[in-house]
Amino acid sequence: MFSLNDLNKAAQYIYKFMPPTPQYKWPLLYEKAGLEVWVKHENHTPTGAFKIRGSITFMDWLMRSHPDVKGVVTATRGNHGQSQSMVASAHGLKAKIIVPHGNSIEKNNAMRAFGGDVIEFGQNFDDARLEAARIAEFEKLFMVPPFHQEIIRGVSSYALELFSNTPELDVVYVPIGCGSGICSLITVRDLLALKTEIVGVVSTEAEAAKISFESGKLIASSTAKTFADGMAVTTPVKEAFEVYLKGASRIVSVSEYEVAKAMRLIFSTTHNVAEGAGAAALAAAIQERESNIKNKNVAVILTGGNVDTSIYATVLQGETPVIN
């Protein structure tokens, strides 16, 4: 369990590598969406997504606790892998990054550019995760999980920034993939003794976290065929699930159409690029604007802006990408 002092120290360490990201209210977004929200811009990090924060603190811990480590291996759909590639390379370590076949071409290219050795395996994230575990054992590399207390320690810095720089928030919407984003918000919210509701967001095409939350037990979904790859998880991470089961107020599902519409809205009103998962929080807030959040102080987490050009072009043309 972390103390507030632990998290503040982690944040100060992170700021040696990157500045805090901003949170803005955009008047044109309010005009077009009929919803006044704070947007936390995690698309403004060195890797274009919030994951870099956890990678910085995780690598610091790894180098101190395992000084003989030769390299790392991890599974990803992209943002986690970019961050691990960047930070591992900065420490002189090799990074093997396992992605499923058909993963984002541009995220794969970014991981390679940051120094990662990208290997395609399997049809989904869970297949890639099993292959990463096999490689870790066979090649004696350190397996970086998608969820770890040192990752949470770093990711929590964005929650500290948000809660410290806005009037007390009634509700925060955040997408759920493997869970580090929502768990960090819950952790900081509780340490600050705030009453803010934390609302998770999933795709209607990858509802495992929502189904599990509402049933009170882990349940896997059969598929995760969403173009919002940051939410394309079929099996919730147990450690994360235990946190958001207790700490989240609810989990909202958004359709592919709603996500694409939110991506267009973010671009046209703020000129920021949001990937699918990055726009999902806004999509959920719009869905609930006349019910659960009317007249409330609301924030949405724009978790990342790493979207392939072809997919984004489809979105900007007014269409909804289809994943086969």
> What pLDDT, in 10s, does the model give residues 117-173?
999 999 888 889 899 999 999 999 999 998 999 999 999 999 999 999 999 999 999
Residue 160 and residue 90 share a domain:
no
Give dist(CA 144, CA 135) in Å, integer: 12
Global pTM reads 0.95
Q: Pick the last residue of a domain from 110, 143, 176.
A: 143
Domains: count for the chain: 2
Residue 60 and residue 28 share a domain:
no
Residue 269 and residue 181 share a domain:
yes
Q: Pick the last residue of a domain from 143, 168, 203.
A: 143
Amino acid at 233: V
Q: Is residue 187 part of a domain?
A: yes
Distance set, CA 17 to CA 97, 180, 191, 211 (Å): 22, 20, 25, 38
In this predicted structure, what is the pLDDT of residue 123? 86
Residue 271 and residue 243 share a domain:
yes
Encoded tokens for 11: 């944040």
Residue whose C-alpha is closest to residue 212's, from 229, 233, 226: 233
The continuous run of DSSP H or E covering 150 comes out as helix 149-164
Interacting residues of 28 by C-beta distance below 8 A, sequence separation 6+:
268, 269, 270
Residue 173 and residue 129 share a domain:
no
Residue 248 and residue 175 share a domain:
yes
Encoded tokens for 152: 């949470």
Residue 39 and residue 26 share a domain:
yes
Q: Is residue 321 part of a domain?
A: no
Residue 239 and residue 307 share a domain:
yes
Q: Is residue 12 part of a domain?
A: yes
Backbone phi and psi for residue 25, each to the nearest 5 degrees, phi listed first: -100, 130
Q: Is residue 276 part of a domain?
A: yes
Residue 286 and residue 199 share a domain:
yes
Q: Is residue 23 part of a domain?
A: yes
Give the distance, in angstroms, between the CA of residue 73 and the centroid of all CA atoms in the same chain: 19
In this predicted structure, what is the pLDDT of residue 77? 84
CA angle centred on 96, ends 94 and 102, rounded to 5°: 150
Residue whose C-alpha is closest to residue 186's, from 141, 152, 212: 152
Rounded to a whole number of angstroms, the CA Rg of the chain reads: 18
Give dist(CA 208, CA 176) in Å, integer: 10
Q: Is residue 127 part of a domain?
A: yes
Give dist(CA 178, CA 128) in Å, integer: 14
Domain residues for 134? Answer: 52-143
* Whether the predicted pLDDT of 224 surpasses 90: no
Distance set, CA 305 to CA 70, 79, 144, 279, 296 (Å): 31, 10, 23, 9, 26
CATH code for position 202: 3.40.50.1100
Q: Is residue 322 part of a domain?
A: no
Residue 219 and residue 205 share a domain:
yes
Segment 248-297, tens digit of pLDDT = 999 999 999 999 999 999 999 999 999 999 999 999 999 999 898 988 99
Q: Is residue 323 part of a domain?
A: no
Residue 233 and residue 101 share a domain:
no
Q: Report residue 317's pLDDT band, with 50, 70 and 90 as the boundaries.
A: very high
Q: Pick the last residue of a domain from 92, 110, 143.
A: 143
Interacting residues of 85 by C-beta distance below 8 A, sequence separation 6+:
95, 97, 111, 112, 114, 115, 116
Residue 178 and residue 90 share a domain:
no
